[in-house]
Amino acid sequence: MFPINRPRRLRQTTQLRRMVRENTVTTSDLIYPLFAVPGEGIAKEVKSMPGVYQLSVDKIVAEAKEVYDLGIPSIILFGIPDNKDVEATGAWHDCGIVQKAATAVKEAVPELVIIADTCLCEYTSHGHCGYLEVGDLSGRVLNDPTLELLKKTAVSQAKAGADIIAPSGMMDGFVQAIRTGLDEAGFQDTPILSYAAKYASAYYGPFRDAAESPPQFGDRSTYQMDPANSQEALKEIELDIAEGADMLMIKPALAYMDIIWRVKEATNLPVAAYNVSGEYSMVKAAALNGWIDEQKVVMETLTGFKRSGADLILTYHAKDAARWLQD
Ligand code: PBG
Ligand code: ZN
């Protein structure tokens, strides 16, 4: 009790505070998302995400080198294809845009860990994350036919050079289907980072500009989780672990820190938090207006994810954070 106990004793100097600091963000924790588009020499800024670009493969390679030189160990690749169709051909074709980008990056920066986002929404004409009955405008994605397409996509991404497969469509059984597909194709050692608890969130808005992937009708609430639920997240996690997930992702991050914490407590697998597009855009908008100190706000947020139990953080701030950590 006071006056014997005075917690301020340990807050008196910078060095003392450093000594008792419980959590720190390091560059090793960061994963940087990149958007690949067809063409050459293209770097098109995403309107709702200042500082984030759609990049052609040549530019992706340059960016990957920069990321690696900053000490960031990993990137996650998304693709915007030339053509979209009901079968999501661009997702699983061996000449798909993510496949091309993965191969080029692997050749140029072999040590950089390439994560492939494995989903269909960027490649389907309707923008949903799976296969729909032709003519069905309800947005009720057919689960099991989608698994076959995801399996093909994952194998093709692994063949192209992806080191980690990250299925993000919230289909039931997708980890098992992809694990089986990878194993049959000889990729027993390719880990799966499952978007295990992914919520139907309005914070994905700017990403859908970046990836040109908004659903053309309906929404994703028949497959992504209800933001009101947390028990259900634990169920999703348990199933994905049983199906063979090597790492688990929670998404979004900021409004779901309780979920990050509960998942970390419930498993001993590495946990990743996705600091999503809307979270990024809000910080950027406030920073560009001079309303907040961007560096301090970003580092405080990233530290918060670590404190919540995240081992890894996918974030559009990764390059800036790596630079700030160097100084
Ligand atoms: C695709 C996917 C999305 C994001 C990652 N993978 C969008 C969505 O589900 O609509 C969102 C990432 C972000 O907002 O930064 N399944
Ligand atoms: Zn999707």
Catalytic pick among 59, 84, 152, 251? 251
Contact 175/154 with Cβ under 8 angstroms? no
β strands within 58-143, DSSP E = 74-79, 113-118
Q: Over 80: is that where the pLDDT of 139 sits?
A: no
Summarised one tens digit per residue, pLDDT across range 36-67 is 999 999 999 999 999 999 999 999 999 999 99
Q: Which CATH number is 119's domain given?
A: 3.20.20.70
Distance 117 CA to ligand 2 centre (A): 9
**Top mutation candidate among 84, 168, 282, 284 for ligand 1, by most atoms within 8 Å of CB:** 168
Per the CB < 8 A criterion, the answer to whether 181 and 151 are in contact is yes
Asked, for residue 4, whether it belongs to a domain, the answer is no
User: Is 18 contained in some domain?
Assistant: no
What is the arithmetic mean of pLDDT over 268-294? 98
Amino acid at 293: D
For the stretch 160-170, pLDDT in tens is 999 999 999 99
State the average pLDDT for the chain. 97
Write out the residue range of the structural domain in which residue 103 sits. 23-326
Residue 13 resides in a domain: no
Residue 5 lies in a domain: no
Pocket of ligand 1 from Cβ distances under 6 Å:
117, 119, 121, 129, 168-169, 204, 207-208, 220, 276-277
User: Alpha-carbon distance 144 to 133, whole Å?
Assistant: 12
Q: Is residue 15 part of a domain?
A: no
Residue 61: inside a domain, yes or no?
Answer: yes
Annotated catalytic, 235?
Answer: no
**pLDDT for residue 178 is more than 90:** yes
Backbone torsions φ then ψ of 315, nearest 5 degrees: -155, 140
How far, in Å, CA of 146 to CA of 6, rounded?
59
Q: What is the pLDDT of residue 135?
A: 78
Residue 71 lies in a domain: yes
User: Which of 78, 207, 274 should be mutated for ligand 1, with most atoms under 8 A from CB?
Assistant: 207
Q: How many domains does the chain have?
A: 1
Closest CA to 191 of 275, 119, 118: 118
> Is 1 domain-assigned?
no
Told to judge if 251 belongs to the known catalytic residues of this protein, a careful annotator would answer: yes
- Over 90: is that where the pLDDT of 251 sits? yes
User: Are β-strands 53-56 and 43-45 bridged in parallel, bridged antiparallel, or unpaired?
Assistant: antiparallel
